[in-house]
Structure 1
Amino acid sequence: MSKFDIERFCANIQKHKITFAYVVPPVILLLGKHPVVDKYDLSSLRMMNSGAAPLTPELVEAVYKRLNVPIKQGYGLSETSPTTHTQPWEEWDKTIGSVGRLLPNQTAKYMSSEEKEVPVGEVGELWIKGPNVFLGYHNNPEGTKNALTEDGYFKTGDVGYQDKDGNFYITDRVKELIKYKGFQVAPAELEGLLISHPKINDVAVVGVYNKEQATEVPRAYIVPVPGVEASQATADDIMVWLHGKIANHKRLRGGVRFVDEVPKSASGKILRRVLKVRAQEEQERGQKAKL
């Protein structure tokens, strides 16, 4: 396909009896929520592999419940040639949400903001070392210096943790973490919970600065399911539902905004900078209105 279209995607699977598909989280989202999927026979699919952005357990479980198709994940970056982790097929349902185990000839560790290795189960930035790691950025010595340690580890910029069985989890990007009064809030975690709400078709969470509290607060930009009213009552209902599932510091203190679509790159990554610009413009309009 010259570009992605959910109906053509499903039609091609049905017509050609596709057995394996490489996908990104927005495709998984559509397979779990879009009504057109029910028109097609996707029973030839034996497995899907997701990459490019974090995939939450809620999305995996929703699609499996609807289509009975297992979904496994992998992980890697251009700087690592690219794949560094993958889930074994037979373990997809035992470690849902994991990007799998480290592939051979590499070492990896999760590091704190003070650049100290954190123990198993604790969250940190993933560092990777191996013959697959790049030598540096072309004509960018400063970027290379910031990305590579003296002993050869590449700082991925991705946040996550490792379990006791050696399964790795990626929860968000270091730069995308919301800093609320000293606490770190991962947008992808909140998005994973919100997308399972029956009134939500798509969602993105960003941090917006709150002058009164002198800190960032999480705000959700939500695409409602067709027919659902984009009202304050709907927003309140969603927030009450979410707040019953999360710690106090993760609450949507920046509120809910309804949008027609969530801006994303071709690979499915949420373009949070676009939403941050929108939030800034909303804030400036609000200030002018008060004047």
Structure 2
Amino acid sequence: MPTDSSYAPVDIPDVGIWDFLFERNDRDFPDDKVIYVDPYTERSYTYAQVKQSAADLGKGLKSSWEWKKGDVLALYTPNCIDTPIVTWGTIWAGGIVSPANPGYSVEELAFQLKDSGAKGLVTQWDQLEVATKAAQEAGIPDERIILIGDKRDPSARFKHFTSIRNIAGTSRYRRTKVDSDKDLAFLVYSSGTTGLPKGVMLSHRNIVANNLQLRAGESTNLSWKPRPDAPNGDSVLAFLPFFHIYGLTCLLHQSIYAGFKCLVMPKFDIEAWCKFVQNYKITYSYVVPPVVLLLSKHPCVDKYDLSSIRMMNSGAAPLTRELVDAVFKRKGLKVKQGYGLSETSPTTHTQPWSSWYDTIGSVGTLLPNLTAKYMGPDETELPAGQVGELWIKGPNIFKGYHNNPEGTRNALTDDGYFKTGDVGYQDADGNFFITDRIKELIKYKGFQVPPAELEGILISHPSISDVAVIGVHKEELATEVPLAYVVPKEGKGSKELEAEIVEWLGKKVANHKKLRGGVRFTDEIPKSVSGKILRRVLKDRMKAELENGPVKAKL
């Protein structure tokens, strides 16, 4: 039988995101509560300022751009405290927000602009070169490109968003009404580790539901109100990208719904992260495993007082006991794990605070209003304890893939389940475990080898700074075998170190999980901005090496 959440169901109001955030009757924090802060410039927005500025921008869009319901505004920008304004200004006007990775090339951005049908583009001064070229390719005129952030265009060719927000004579415009279940709020694009990125269609109801599900999982532990261990209330340090659903929901939306102070970093920097935690007494941070790894090994961490951190929550990739133990032993930092995907808005599971250490390796339990089951290759349900593909059903499940009916049919069942493509199992206590992606499992003579499991063990080796495991075909064995790409902690690696690592791991794992593909040393492990290892990049590199000899260029 499918598993239902052990949480009491939450009531999901039939309202759009704007009503949910700004027209609610249950808000318990004041209008002048500071929500977003830029710790580099000290620029900030209160709750009331966000609401007013977003509404003004929405009116400006309707006035100057003749904005229509369902129009798409693309965002191509690093994290910025102006992002909430353009996001909810678009929502106010009935539009759809499509955030793009600020690291995209012209071709990658142009694809998203064209695929989403974006009517305009929001960017920052430093991204203008790529943004303008991509916009031109997608048929978006210069007057539909606007800037956010502290830098203006000295030539005034590209307007700052404040010029649209401050247009006079817009009081006649009214907020666009939406159908919370049918109308889209966001069109986010998957990381595209295989093929072209897919546009994930998220409705207003999807986002509203997931915010309430998140609050149910964290509400007894996180509050804007002062508490003995957090005299200024809880505060969150935000470096996860707002263009990714993890940052978009868990940081951008959760902060203003719950009233947390949210310090916005444009990107992750280990020294800056430690400094801001110390100086602002940050109590909570959403992280990814590579950040946990840095906190366990980077020398600068010892210089800072990080004791205000009450908990961290890791997502995007599996978190191992070795990493949890290492960061707790070094600085007393607690880190629990959660799970979700773009298609689930994103969070479906999280570890309870009370059992963060007892259930290390688990992504936690199902959040409210969700049902899940593990399925075998023949799509029959498996009992607890058996490994299969995770299927999930609930109000936060996406509406489908944009312009991709075949992909939608393959991902969503007729009775509403989403096939996650993630492999794992559930234990007798209702804890869920994710072992790997179906497409990334290594098959050695019929045995399945999860790369993430081997990576979790290898990272605890004292000579390894970072690691990724892929499957490579070994002709003489007529099968796929595990191979590790290793970033050595010191030096460039050697045959002796390779032999040591292979032997060391061989003593810790089952026979079919040994590194029969050996070890390759590299300068860095390629990862997406959300922290996922880009194994495709490594597989392409290995293929090139087999065809043309060793590749000397840095990844």
TM-score range (shorter-chain normalised) is over 0.9
Residue 190 of structure 1 aligns to a residue whose secondary structure is helix
Instruction: Answer yes or no: is 1:82 the counterpart of 2:346.
Output: yes
Instruction: Answer yes or no: is 1:165 the counterpart of 2:429.
Output: yes
Offset of 1:123 from its aligned partner? 1.1
Aligned partners of 1:199, 1:42: CA distance in 2, in Å? 26
Of 399, 403, 408, which residue of structure 2 is paired with 1:139? Answer: 403
Aligned partners of 2:465, 2:377: CA distance in 1, in Å? 35
Spell out the pairing of 1:266-281 with structure 2 (5 A cutoff): 266-281=529-544
Spell out the pairing of 1:20-99 with structure 2 (5 A cutoff): 20-99=284-363
Offset of 1:135 from its aligned partner? 2.4
Aligned partner of 1:155 in structure 2 is: 419
Aligned partners of 1:78, 1:197: CA distance in 2, in Å? 33
Of 382, 385, 389, which residue of structure 2 is paired with 1:118? Answer: 382
Aligned partners of 1:285, 1:80: CA distance in 2, in Å? 42
Of 217, 233, 239, which residue of structure 1 is paired with 2:502? Answer: 239
Spell out the pairing of 1:220-235 with structure 2 (5 A cutoff): 220-227=484-491, 230-235=493-498
Quick check: which has more Rg, 1 or 2? 2
Aligned partners of 2:367, 2:453: CA distance in 1, in Å? 25
For 1:107, give the aligned amino acid.
Answer: T
Aligned partner of 1:102 in structure 2 is: 366
Aligned partners of 1:24, 1:91: CA distance in 2, in Å? 19
Of 172, 176, 198, which residue of structure 1 is paired with 2:440? Answer: 176
- Deviation per CA, 1:17-65, whole angstroms, max 9, x where unpaired? 1111110111001001111111111111111011111111211111111
Offset of 1:76 from its aligned partner? 1.2
For 1:74, give the aligned amino acid.
Answer: G
Offset of 1:131 from its aligned partner? 2.0
Q: How many residue pairs end up in the alignment?
A: 286
- Deviation per CA, 1:209-267, whole angstroms, max 9, x where unpaired? 1122221111000001124x510100111111100010111111110001010001111
Offset of 1:286 from its aligned partner? 4.7
Aligned partners of 1:22, 1:114: CA distance in 2, in Å? 36
**Residue identity (%):** 72
Instruction: Answer yes or no: is 1:14 the counterpart of 2:278.
Output: yes
Aligned partners of 2:277, 2:369: CA distance in 1, in Å? 36
Aligned partners of 2:287, 2:368: CA distance in 1, in Å? 24
Residue 282 of structure 2 aligns to a residue whose secondary structure is coil
Aligned partners of 1:149, 1:232: CA distance in 2, in Å? 50
For 1:68, give the aligned amino acid.
Answer: G
Aligned partner of 2:462 in structure 1 is: 198
Aligned partner of 2:146 in structure 1 is: none
Offset of 1:273 from its aligned partner? 0.6
Offset of 1:2 from its aligned partner? 2.1
Offset of 1:119 from its aligned partner? 1.7
Aligned partners of 2:322, 2:375: CA distance in 1, in Å? 27
Moved over 6 A (4+): none
Instruction: Answer yes or no: is 1:261 the counterpart of 2:524.
Output: yes
For 1:4, give the aligned amino acid.
Answer: F
Residue 401 of structure 2 aligns to a residue whose secondary structure is coil
Aligned partners of 1:25, 1:61: CA distance in 2, in Å? 13
Residue 212 of structure 1 aligns to a residue whose secondary structure is helix
Offset of 1:285 from its aligned partner? 2.8
Aligned partners of 1:99, 1:147: CA distance in 2, in Å? 22
Offset of 1:126 from its aligned partner? 0.4
Aligned partners of 1:61, 1:55: CA distance in 2, in Å? 11
Residue 374 of structure 2 aligns to a residue whose secondary structure is strand
Aligned partner of 1:251 in structure 2 is: 514
Question: TM-score normalised to the size of structure 2?
Answer: 0.51
Instruction: Answer yes or no: is 1:285 the counterpart of 2:548.
Output: yes
Structure 1 residue runs without a partner (length 5+)? none
Aligned partner of 1:188 in structure 2 is: 452
